[in-house]
Amino acid sequence: MSKESSTKTDGQAEEATPDAADEKQAEGSEATAAEVTPTPSGSDGQGTTSERATAMRATLSARRDAESLLAEASALRRTAANDADAMVAEAETLAEQLLAESKQSAEKTTVEAQERAEGIVARARTEAAQVKQDAEAEAEEVRASAKAEADELRANSDAERERMRAEVTEEVEKASRAQLEELQTKSDILLRQVELGVHGLGPALEGAMSVVGDVIGSLEKLRSVTPGEAPDFAELKQALDAVEMPEPRAGDDVIVGEAEASDDHSPRSGSAEVAVMGEKSLATADRSDSPQGDDAGARPLGWLFRASQS
């Protein structure tokens, strides 16, 4: 576009140049004609014929020169106009060619940029996929190692738990075994003591049986006594003082002492229950052997009457 404008400016300058030349030529011819044209002399008032002819020739020559210059200027103007048109056409052609070339270059550059951008995007995607795969693989390795460590810790904790459980179980078994042995020892001692006490109760039971028989005989005699034959109370008191109570056996003292010295565990209660059951069985046996079991409240009187009769 700059070349086209410069070309048009040059053409306009060339077109303006012949016009200026024609105007200058016309002005020059008029000036020459004015100079050549004779002026009337101050002496005779008229010029000679030769002088007029010379002036006319000069005027005609100047006109011819002016016309030739004008024709030459017109030719130059037409030539300049044609050259200017040719230059404008050439400039337009060149501009169109340059525009087409610039469009092609721009399209080519755009295509290359797109291809380069696509290549960069594809490479970035490939690198991102590779980085993702590496990250996943690393995460999987970390997860596997963490799982292995967790399994190992779990196994160690299970083993430690089993070991502690075994130790605690062993300690509890030892403690319980020691307690059982101690309880068994105490129970054996108590059983031996109870056995000794039972063996010692044999003579006492025999004496009690004889006393029961005496009491029963005394009661029968008391029923057969008439009111006039009642014994004297002074004699009864003397007889009561003379009655000898059965002395305690050595086994009874052992049983009572061991019952008081033993702790609050089951063996002591068992021995006490054995003693109580022995006493209850003896009492039941006395009542069953006695033909008059309903007169148990009369035993003191039996003792008294037996002593008085003896």
The DSSP string of 76-119 is HHHHHHHHHHHHHHHHHHHHHHHHHHHHHHHHHHHHHHHHHHHH
CA distance 71 to 137: 96
Contact 196, 254 (CB under 8 A): yes
pTM (predicted TM-score): 0.30
Residue 131 has pLDDT above 90, yes or no: yes
Residue burial 164-196, b: 16+ Cβ < 10 Å; e: rest: eeeeeeeeeeeeeeeeeeeeeebbeebeebbeb
Residue 294 has pLDDT above 70, yes or no: no
* pLDDT on residue 214: 81
Tell me the average pLDDT of the chain: 71
Average pLDDT over every residue of 246-275: 46
Domain ranges, ordered by start, for the chain: 2-36+53-120, 185-309
**Cβ neighbours for 83, distance < 8 A, ≥ 6 positions apart:** 11, 14
Contact 256, 201 (CB under 8 A): no
CA distance 277 to 47: 204
For residue 230, name the pLDDT band (cuts at 50, 70, 90). Answer: low
* pLDDT on residue 93: 92
Spatial CA neighbour of 292 closest among 208, 210, 206, 223 = 223
Contact 205, 282 (CB under 8 A): yes
Residue 8 has pLDDT above 70, yes or no: no
Q: Rounded to the nearest 10 degrees, what angle do helices 49-224 and 2-36 cross at? A: 160
